[in-house]
A and B are shown apart, each in its own frame.
Chain A
Amino acid sequence: NAGVMQNPRHLVRRRGQEARLRCSPMKGHSHVYWYRQLPEEGLKFMVYLQKENIIDESGMPKERFSAEFPKEGPSILRIQQVVRGDSAAYFCASSPRMGPGRGHTEAFFGQGTRLTVV
């Protein structure tokens, strides 16, 4: 059973280009979470998705960032018109179920995508 798969591992983009980060959750997991890790910092929550639904995007910047988790295929975090401040590691995690108060399970993390904007 493969773990959470993220690709690419490293991504270099010029300022103004688009970055697309992919996350394939573990088999049987239908919940995906994206976190961002700025240099020398801990992770910060960005967005939580279920298949075809965005549940919570309270941590996403209001502009240029979007996320989706289609019925088929990986979850995509899309950053339009990247700027140098977007340079960070982006981690995806997945879990089989959620629900406040309904008993969480561990979120399993992918290896991250390191985005460098030049």
Chain B
Amino acid sequence: AQKVTQAQTEISVVEKEDVTLDCVYETRDTTYYLFWYKQPPSGELVFLIRRNSFDEQNEISGRYSWNFQKSTSSFNFTITASQVVDSAVYFCALRWDSNYQLIWGAGTKLIIKP
């Protein structure tokens, strides 16, 4: 089965704290792609990152970093020094190479308090 689980429904932290959003996936395919999207209160989907299954190198982009671990089927997302503008719903998604559909997690609502 192809599945994405975001166990954290909602996380609330105070500004400047670090926060990690968890994503666990299931797939039988050896070639697949993992994504993170941000959905701010305005509702649009903002693409953050795509990672393919052959590249387990962690990635850092400014205050954002991603930890891909095939051994635990996880693709976690960390925001360091969080800011109020980071408040949004964050989605993890999976696509396997023999298909084109994105399989989405239920999302984690992140609230950053000033």
Contacts and interface: CB of A to CB of B under 8 A. Distances in A.
B43 A111 contact: yes
Interface stretch (A14-22, A38-46, A68-76, A79-87): A38-46
Q: Is the interface of B mostly helix, strand, loop or mixed?
A: loop
Chain A interface residue bracket vs B: 20 to 34
Nearest to B91: A42
Interface residues of B, number: 23
Contacts of B43: 89, 111-112, 114
Contacts of B100: 31, 33, 48, 56, 95, 98, 100, 104, 107
A36 to B, nearest CB: 11
A28 interface: no
Given A104-B95, A107-B102, 8 more contacts: A41-B107, A42-B104, A43-B102, A43-B104, A56-B101, A89-B43, A100-B99, A109-B47
Interface of A: 31, 33, 35, 40-45, 48, 56, 59, 89, 91, 95, 98, 100-101, 104, 106-109, 111-112, 114
